[in-house]
Amino acid sequence: MSSQLRIGVIGYGYWGPNLVRNVNRLADAAAVSVCDYHESRREHVRTQYPGMAALHDWREVVTDPAVDAVIIATPVTTHFELARAALQEGKHVLVEKPMAASLAEAEELLELSSARGLTLMVGHTFLYQGAIRRIAKMASGGELGELLYLDSTRANLGILQDDINVIWDLAPHDFSIMDHVVGEMPLSVSATGATHTDRRLEEIAFVTLHYRDDLIGHVNVNWLSPVKIRKILFGGTRKMVVYDDTEPGEKVKVYDRGVERRSEQDQRHNELIQYRAGDVFVPALDMTEPLFAEVKDFADSIRERRKPLADAESGIRVVRLLELACRSLAQGGVPLEVKP
């Protein structure tokens, strides 16, 4: 590997331009080639980045000996084929979420990367956001007390995907956040949903995750909302947090509020419910662009030979939950056990 990490990007649609821009912000890495099927997008690359290779065939990227690592920002159904080919060619890989279209595919990619000593990372961008990192630190440090629930709503009008339903499209964000904050897998998953078009792909879904100690996670994903909502409530026994990603400034608000049960000494069979209403705190957050932090972690993990934050194991856990949620959805919402 040269002193500068040379990265090829496959896919220059919605997310690709942002990835290329942030890779080129790194001091010790650069995007050297971009691949996309659409000529208009390749022409945009040539205009924005003169001298950068704008390719039509992704195989030219993964077989190029001048490329050290590959970033894949293509539809989910192509992730496995492209990532496997890149790993087989000895390239480190960052693949957008979800990691693959099935658990079997995701596990095969992990095995391949491990056998070849290569970095395999998943684009769980929210794990690199200052707001989520602050909330995770509060949870792990005991500031919130015992977690009681996580309640997420991720809704917007579109964009309806042609190959996956709303769970596979939107829920990976919330599953990765909950996986990071809780630090363990749920015991069971159930899901219900509906489709209101002739596409036969659900546009609305509600997923429930049951953890040990009665911790419950709820995920509402919706392509048919008149307004954009990206909000998660974190309920703890000490404090509660409201995370609103649509807020430009105050994305995180910490509430010293809750419910307490206290037994009366002279009324042993009765319990008094007391409501705690304390201050509201808005913490300062790291405002580094999450995508820049993500690609920097990718480059640093390659050079330092360590696991990135959003490693392949986290990608597998998210795909496992996606599969179970969709299986439950197909069975009318039956809770399914998450096996170790």
pLDDT tens for the chain, residues 1 to 340: 668 999 999 999 999 999 999 999 999 999 999 999 999 999 999 999 998 999 999 999 999 999 999 999 999 999 999 999 999 999 999 999 999 999 999 999 999 999 999 999 999 999 999 999 999 999 999 999 999 999 999 999 978 888 899 999 999 999 999 999 999 999 999 999 999 988 889 999 999 999 999 999 999 999 999 999 999 999 999 999 999 999 988 999 999 987 776 665 555 555 666 777 778 999 999 999 999 999 999 999 999 999 999 999 999 999 999 999 999 999 999 999 998 8
- Is the bond leading into 159 cis (omega within 30 degrees of zero)? yes
Eight-state DSSP code of residue 127: G
**Dist CA 218 CA 283 (whole Å):** 25
Q: What is the pLDDT of residue 199?
A: 80
Q: Provide the β-strand partners of residue 272.
A: 262
Q: What is the pLDDT of residue 98?
A: 97
Q: What is the pLDDT of residue 3?
A: 80
Closest CA to 93 of 73, 76, 75, 115: 73
Q: Give the burial string for 267-306 (b: 16+ CB within 10 Å, else e).
A: eeeeeeeeeeeeeeeebebeeebbbbbbbbbbbbbbeeee
Q: Tokens 């069971």 appear where?
A: 188
Q: What is the pLDDT of residue 200?
A: 86
Q: What is the pLDDT of residue 264?
A: 59
Predicted structure pTM score: 0.94
**Dist CA 296 CA 302 (whole Å):** 10
Q: What is the pLDDT of residue 76?
A: 96
- Give helix 290-304 / helix 16-23 axis angle, nearest 10°: 60
Q: What is the pLDDT of residue 272?
A: 67
33, two tokens? 């080639």
